[in-house]
A and B are shown apart, each in its own frame.
Chain A
Amino acid sequence: GAGVSQTPSNKVTEKGKYVELRCDPISGHTALYWYRQSLGQGPEFLIYFQGTGAADDSGLPNDRFFAVRPEGSVSTLKIQRTERGDSAVYLCASSPTGAGGTDTQYFGPGTRLTVL
C-alpha cells in the first residue's frame, strides 16, 4: 500500500514569504506527527494530531508556525514570514492510533525547505 507522502519534495523561498507543506498519511491512520530535522541533527517534534485536533503543539517554535488537519487525513504545515533559520527538512509521520506511545510511526521522505 501507499506510504506517507509529502509535497513538495523541495521548496525554495525568500525570507519573509509564506509557505505551505503538505502531508498525506497512510490511509486509516488517526495519528499524524510533524518533525523538523536540521542539518546534522535528529528530528525534533513539532506537533501531533489525533484525528482532526492538534493534541500536542508544544514543539512549534513560535506563532509563525501553524498546522491543520481539517478532515482527519491530509495535513498542512504553514509557516508565515519565513526566516533563514527555518531552513530544514520537515518530516511527517503517521501511526495507526498514536495512543499509548508504542505505535510504529511511518515517515514520509520529507520536504526540504530552503529560505534564502
Chain B
Amino acid sequence: AQSVTQLGSHVSVSEGALVLLRCNYSSSVPPYLFWYVQYPNQGLQLLLKYTTGATLVKGINGFEAEFKKSETSFHLTKPSAHMSDAAEYFCAVSDRPGNTGKLIFGQGTTLQVKP
C-alpha cells in the first residue's frame, strides 16, 4: 500500500528565507506525486506534480520539488518566503496501480512566515 509522510507538522521561517517542506513516500510502483496548498477557508490548490520525465518540477508561486527515487522523497522548496505563503501544505501520492486518481495525503505541514 502506498503512503506519504510529511516530516514536521509546523515549519516557521522568516520572510525572505528558504522554505523546505519534507515529504517521503512509500510505493511499490513508480509514484505519481503531488503538492497541494490550503489557505484558510479555501479548497486545496495544486502547487505542482510529478508523473514522469524531469525529476525537478516547477510549480506556481515560485515553488519547486525534486523527485528522488533513491531517497523516496519529494521535498518542496522555495528560495525566498513571502508572507502570503503562510498556509497548510499537503504532499500526496496517487493510488497505483489502480490509477483511479484517488489521492493518499500526508498529514500536512503548516508553514508560518515571520516578518
Contact = CB atoms under 8 A, between A and B. Distances in A.
Interface of A: 3-4, 31, 33, 35, 40-45, 48, 50, 55-56, 59, 91, 93, 95, 98-110
A108 to B, nearest CB: 5
Contacts of B61: none
Given A109-B42, A110-B43, A101 B100 contact: yes
Given A101-B32, A102-B51, A104-B49, A45 B103 contact: yes
B78 interface: no
A102 B98 CA distance: 12
B41 A40 contact: no
9 cross-chain pairs, A with B, having the tightest CB-CB distances, nearest first? A42-B105, A107-B43, A101-B99, A101-B94, A107-B44, A98-B101, A102-B51, A45-B102, A109-B43
B102 A33 contact: yes
Interface of B: 4, 9, 32, 36, 41-46, 49, 51, 90, 92, 94-96, 98-108
For the complex, would chain B's binding face be called helix, strand, loop or mixed by DSSP majority?
Answer: loop
Given A105-B46, A107-B44, A99 B105 contact: no
A9 to B, nearest CB: 9
A40 B105 CA distance: 12
Given A3-B43, A42-B90, A56 B102 contact: yes
Given A4-B43, A41-B107, A48-B100, 9 more contacts: A42-B108, A48-B102, A91-B43, A99-B101, A100-B99, A101-B32, A101-B94, A101-B100, A108-B43
